[in-house]
């Protein structure tokens, strides 16, 4: 642990805190229709409505909103599947890549539409430019907009008194994409191009190295995909090495900028929440809970990677610079730890180091970040609605203790909301644990493992955790491009995304139908330290109780065995 390392972390945290209020206010203005756009931009929005026959003023019930969302995402999966299967017949494929196999195409389509970005393929050797741009990049935009739309619908559920509707899905998607995602992407893409990230439709370059060897340098429309990859919480890189690749993350400035993009919208939405419900302190309380969990995890990962076990000495490895296996030397330990904690705390899944090579305790934190339903900032929208689900459970538990109907930000929390919150919070762990257990006993699952013992189990557990939590990062040791993993991980991604979103929209609908209740002497304050502590406790206990046995079999066992001198 070095002062420079802590300085990087402090700078990152300060920049995120600084951007929350202005961006959160801007998003609130957009989703509430209070920001007036320049006439040409507004004309484009209206033109899209006319073209698609959408009346943005016609609001939907929660079920209508959910069905529109499902239909839209279903069409997105079909489109991305088709692009991959037909790419050998389509233009903008200068490397003449063949069609993507059906199981891999299904996995990839599901992965990007669900905002997961699990990649069982290497981008630069599998996908043509058209598939990357019109498929992967477009779905990164749309999946992020979908998550934000769900969060916005939930916020409206809290903010509206006695309403039967929660907004118009099509209008929300249009406004979020046009006014939030696209402007940030245009500016940030130009910044990345300035820093040296390629943006070209030219074919790969044949180069001769200084040693005289022949090398093919892959390139393409990287910068435009890179920004939305980070901003959207999708995380799927143009290159297999993701943000460890110098063409995706070339300089120290991009090294700081990229994790900022990962957290940008997820953090700002806490402020949007507070603004729309009329009490910004509520948003800051949610952000404080996120920050506590994020910084606690980061401290463990950074300390663990900086001071690896004495086992390293016995293996003859110089460990004075920390555990550098699987890390880019340009980034070092601090920036790798920061990126790894940020990418698993959010639902992004981009990586600048190989998580498989992290110390066991670091691996535990990275998995736990995802297992906690990605409420630590999380993906755009999914982080906010995830932590609000936990907030509902928290006020319910507190209500039980004091014998009073719980309330949260002006709405009574009753049986319907608690049922739906528990459904949303339990389906993800159920999928992770059941599918990891199945993969442990089937030969088709075991054949993908590159490591034995607890580390091999961690690879399995990490894969299904990453899939069901819609993260997409990987313990790189698992060979996942097999029909078994492609199909089971696709099922985990669908479940982790839509089995959560539907109950969240249902909660939005039931809350919208209720009157707002005024604060009284019996109201549990949900904007102070006491509530933040309760909320963090609930998140840790629910996550810990659910996953502790599985974590004990994986990273905990590996850590203990490593202390005894054995490695995997």
CA–CA distance, 25 with 32 (Å, rounded to integer) = 10
Nearer to other proteins by C-beta: 90 or 299? Answer: 90
Rounded to the nearest whole angstrom, what is the least distance from the CB of residue 164 to other proteins in the complex? Answer: 7
Which stretches of the chain bind other proteins, using CB under 8 A? Answer: 63, 66-67, 70-71, 74, 77-78, 81, 85-86, 88-91, 93, 96, 99, 101-103, 105-106, 162, 164, 411-412, 414-416, 419-420, 423, 487, 494, 498-499, 502-503, 506, 509-510, 513-515, 517
* β-strand pairing of 407-408 with 411-412: antiparallel
Nearer to other proteins by C-beta: 309 or 486? Answer: 486
Nearer to other proteins by C-beta: 62 or 339? Answer: 62
Rounded to the nearest whole angstrom, what is the least distance from the CB of residue 432 to other proteins in the complex? Answer: 18
CA–CA distance, 251 with 94 (Å, rounded to integer) = 28
Do the beta carbons of residue 169 and residue 142 sit within 8 Å? Answer: no
Rounded to the nearest whole angstrom, what is the least distance from the CB of residue 70 to other proteins in the complex? Answer: 5
Nearer to other proteins by C-beta: 94 or 544? Answer: 94
CA–CA distance, 201 with 133 (Å, rounded to integer) = 10
Q: Which element (helix H / strand E) includes 407? A: strand 407-408
Rounded to the nearest whole angstrom, what is the least distance from the CB of residue 392 to other proteins in the complex? Answer: 14
Nearer to other proteins by C-beta: 166 or 264? Answer: 166
Among residues 370, 320, 322, 323, which one has the least CA distance to residue 344?
370
Rounded to the nearest whole angstrom, what is the least distance from the CB of residue 492 to other proteins in the complex? Answer: 12
Nearer to other proteins by C-beta: 160 or 275? Answer: 160
Nearer to other proteins by C-beta: 237 or 410? Answer: 410
Beta strands in 239-346, from DSSP E residues, in sequence order: none
CA–CA distance, 489 with 445 (Å, rounded to integer) = 11
Side-chain half-sphere exposure of 475, counting CA atoms within 13 A: 29
Rounded to the nearest whole angstrom, what is the least distance from the CB of residue 496 to other proteins in the complex? Answer: 13
Q: What angle do CA 487, 151, 231 make, to 5 degrees?
A: 70
Nearer to other proteins by C-beta: 49 or 72? Answer: 72
Rounded to the nearest whole angstrom, what is the least distance from the CB of residue 498 to other proteins in the complex? Answer: 5
CA–CA distance, 335 with 341 (Å, rounded to integer) = 10
Q: Is the dihedral of CA 54, 56, 61, 66 positive or negative?
A: positive
Burial of 529 (0-12, 13-18, 19+ CB in 10 A): exposed
Rounded to the nearest whole angstrom, what is the least distance from the CB of residue 130 to other proteins in the complex? Answer: 11
Phi-psi group of 235: left, alpha or beta (phi > 0 → left; psi -120 to 50 → alpha; rest → beta): left
């Amino acid at each position: 642990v070095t002062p420079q390392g802590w300085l990087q972390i402090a700078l990152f945290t300060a920049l995120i805190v600084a951007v929350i209020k202005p961006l959160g206010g801007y998003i609130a203005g957009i989703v509430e229709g209070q920001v007036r756009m320049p006439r040409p931009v507004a004309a484009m929005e209206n033109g899209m409505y006319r073209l698609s026959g959408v009346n943005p003023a016609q609001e939907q019930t929660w079920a209508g909103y959910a069905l529109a969302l499902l239909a839209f995402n279903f069409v997105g999966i079909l489109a991305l599947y088709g692009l991959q299967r037909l790419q050998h017949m389509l233009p903008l494929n200068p490397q003449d890549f063949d069609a993507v196999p059906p199981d891999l195409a299904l996995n990839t389509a599901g992965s990007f539409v669900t905002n997961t970005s699990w990649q069982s393929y290497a981008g630069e050797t599998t996908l043509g430019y058209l598939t990357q741009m019109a498929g992967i990049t477009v779905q990164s935009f749309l999946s992020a907009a979908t998550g934000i739309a769900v969060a916005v619908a939930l916020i409206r559920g809290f903010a509206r008194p006695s309403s039967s509707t929660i907004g118009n899905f099509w209008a929300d998607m249009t406004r979020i994409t046009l006014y939030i995602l696209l402007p940030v992407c245009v500016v940030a893409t130009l910044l990345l191009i300035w820093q040296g990230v390629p943006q070209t439709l030219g074919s790969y370059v044949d180069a001769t190295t200084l040693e005289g060897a022949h090398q093919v340098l892959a390139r393409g429309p990287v910068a435009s995909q890179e920004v939305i990859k980070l901003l959207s919480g999708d995380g799927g890189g143009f290159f297999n090495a993701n943000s460890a690749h110098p063409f995706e993350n070339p300089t120290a400035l991009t090294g700081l900028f990229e994790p900022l993009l990962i957290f940008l919208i997820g953090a700002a939405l806490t402020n949007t929440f507070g603004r729309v419900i009329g009490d910004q302190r509520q948003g800051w309380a949610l952000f404080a809970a996120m920050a506590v969990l994020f910084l606690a995890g980061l401290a463990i990962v950074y300390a663990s990677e900086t001071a690896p076990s004495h086992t390293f000495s016995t293996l003859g490895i110089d460990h004075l610079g920390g555990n550098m296996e699987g890390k880019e030397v340009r980034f070092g330990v601090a920036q790798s730890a920061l990126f790894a904690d940020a990418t698993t705390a959010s639902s992004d899944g981009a990586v600048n180091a190989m998580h498989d090579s992290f110390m066991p305790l670091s691996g535990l934190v990275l998995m736990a970040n995802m297992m906690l339903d990605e409420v630590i900032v999380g993906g755009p929208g999914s982080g906010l609605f995830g932590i609000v689900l936990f907030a509902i459970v928290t006020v319910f538990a507190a209500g039980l203790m004091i014998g009073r109907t719980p309330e949260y930000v002006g709405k009574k929390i009753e049986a319907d909301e608690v049922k739906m919150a528990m459904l949303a919070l339990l389906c993800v762990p159920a999928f992770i644990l059941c599918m990891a257990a199945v993969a442990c006993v089937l030969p088709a699952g075991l054949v993908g493992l590159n490591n034995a013992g607890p580390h091999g189990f961690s690879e399995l557990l990490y894969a299904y955790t990453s899939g069901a939590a819609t993260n997409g990062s990987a313990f790189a040791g698992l060979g996942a491009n097999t029909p078994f993993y492609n199909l089971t991980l696709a099922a985990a991604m669908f479940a982790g995304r839509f089995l959560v979103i539907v109950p969240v929209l249902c909660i939005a609908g039931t809350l919208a139908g209720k009157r707002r209740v005024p604060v009284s002497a019996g109201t549990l304050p949900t904007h102070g330290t006491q509530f933040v502590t309760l909320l963090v406790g609930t998140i840790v206990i629910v996550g810990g109780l659910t996953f502790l046995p599985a974590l004990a079999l994986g990273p905990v066992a590996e850590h203990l065995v490593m202390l005894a001198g054995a490695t995997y």
